[in-house]
């Protein structure tokens, strides 16, 4: 190994009794490849097994916590107990390769396709549609439904514990329901779940509290709880960098095991809310990195990309598209073959890369999503 890159392979203590073998994590990425009944498919298991061997931790694709929260075709579920064996199969596959298995739990809210939700009953914080063409206006959740949804995140966490996961990641990013409650665009409520910035924070914090309460009740060994968030929204009104600093100041007081920043590019800078020319990642790390570990992600393809992200101060780096393109990314760096890392998708290599067909079709039919397409 090139000694320059040795810091990527240092151990990291995520929490007492939880050691990560290196600083490299597989990012959560939807793969559209689960069975229609919400169970993990064999193709998915093969896909994860191919990529879990050398990273320290695998964060799965998001899994819905309620039936009306399914956000993607081919998404696997964690909304009922009969899916625990399915969840277990994925946890076991990841852990057999030597990585920690983290289940990302979510609800799609207004972003759910109506055909995937019972009776097409799309719900959100408020009856405000997203700013995409042709979308359906959601129904605002009633107070009792909000409280029930919070409990559903706890129940999905219990299933993750029973299925053998090492932790869960609360998906509060990418415009899904937790972010919908925090956003002034999607949350126009006038009760305790909305209105002021402080009230819009109540739902995300209640989900964190419920998940941690569930862990305390059911986990018989250290169990990781992380939280993923998106720093800004393009809409007006929308989440600004200033809002996000308020969010993470509060999350940092919750004894979470990590915060995971969802970014398309780790080098991106704030659009509004702060006067600061540094990257979002650097700002976030300075703000809360001394209180909670931060995972950085976004357009990391080469080892130099990863090393640059690490130099921003964050202790952990997530590989997303880079690990789909190059499943042997970590091993190649470890063995001094970083120059052999593929950074563009090979359109003739689906079988070699062990990519399920639904994900493969999405990649090759979405120009600009992956380098080489």
Catalytic residue among 176, 227, 258, 301: 176
Query: What SS3 class is residue 333?
Result: helix
Q: How many CB atoms are located within 10 Å of the residue 269 CB? A: 15
Contact 228, 169 (CB under 8 A): yes
Burial letters for 55-89: b for 16+ Cβ neighbours within 10 Å, e otherwise?
A: bbbbbbbbbbbbebbbbbebbbbbbeeebbebbbb
Residue 138 sits at the vertex; the CA angle it makes with 136 and 139, to the nearest 5 degrees, is: 145
Q: Alpha-carbon distance 219 to 308, whole Å?
A: 36
Contact 102, 59 (CB under 8 A): yes
Nearest Cα residue to 293 out of 257, 320, 267: 257
Name the token pair of 349.
């290599």
Q: Give the H or E element holding residue 152.
A: helix 143-162
Backbone dihedral region for residue 273 (phi beyond 0: left; psi -120 to 50: alpha; all else: beta): left
Contact 148, 39 (CB under 8 A): no
Is 176 annotated in the active site? yes
- Residues marked as catalytic: 176
């Amino acid at each position: 190994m090139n000694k320059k890159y040795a810091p990527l392979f240092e151990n990291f203590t995520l929490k007492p009794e939880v050691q990560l073998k290196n600083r490299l994590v597989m990012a959560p990425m939807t793969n559209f490849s689960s069975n229609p009944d919400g169970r993990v498919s064999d193709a998915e298991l093969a896909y994860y097994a191919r990529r879990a061997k050398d990273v320290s931790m695998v964060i799965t694709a998001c899994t819905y916590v309620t039936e009306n929260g399914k956000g993607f075709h081919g998404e696997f579920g964690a909304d009922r107990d009969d899916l625990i064996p399915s969840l277990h199969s994925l946890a076991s596959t990841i852990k057999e390769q030597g990585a920690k298995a983290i289940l990302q739990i979510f609800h799609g809210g207004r972003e759910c396709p109506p055909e995937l939700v019972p009776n097409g009953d799309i719900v959100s914080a408020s009856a405000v549609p997203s700013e995409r063409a042709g979308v359906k206006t959601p129904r605002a959740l009633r107070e009792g439904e909000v409280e029930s949804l919070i409990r559903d995140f706890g129940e999905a966490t219990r299933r993750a514990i029973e299925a053998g996961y090492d932790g869960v990641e609360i998906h509060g990013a990418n415009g899904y329901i937790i972010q919908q409650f925090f956003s002034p665009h999607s949350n126009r409520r006038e009760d305790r779940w909305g209105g002021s910035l402080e009230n819009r924070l109540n739902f995300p914090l209640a989900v964190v509290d419920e998940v941690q309460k569930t862990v305390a009740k059911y986990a018989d060994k250290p169990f990781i709880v992380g939280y993923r968030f998106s720093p800004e929204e393009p809409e007006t009104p929308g989440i600004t960098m200033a809002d996000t600093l308020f969010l993470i100041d509060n999350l940092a007081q919750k004894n979470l095991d990590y915060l995971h920043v969802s970014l398309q590019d780790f080098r991106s800078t704030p659009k509004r809310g702060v006067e600061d020319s540094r990257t979002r990642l650097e700002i976030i790390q300075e703000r809360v990195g001394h209180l909670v570990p931060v995972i950085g992600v976004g357009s990391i393809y080469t080892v130099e990309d990863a090393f640059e992200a690490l130099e921003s101060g964050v202790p952990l780096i997530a590989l997303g598209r880079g690990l789909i393109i190059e499943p042997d990314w970590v091993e190649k760096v470890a063995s001094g073959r970083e120059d052999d890392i593929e950074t563009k998708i090979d359109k003739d290599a689906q079988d070699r890369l062990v990519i399920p067909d639904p994900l493969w079709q999405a990649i090759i039919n979405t120009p600009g999503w992956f380098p080489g397409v």
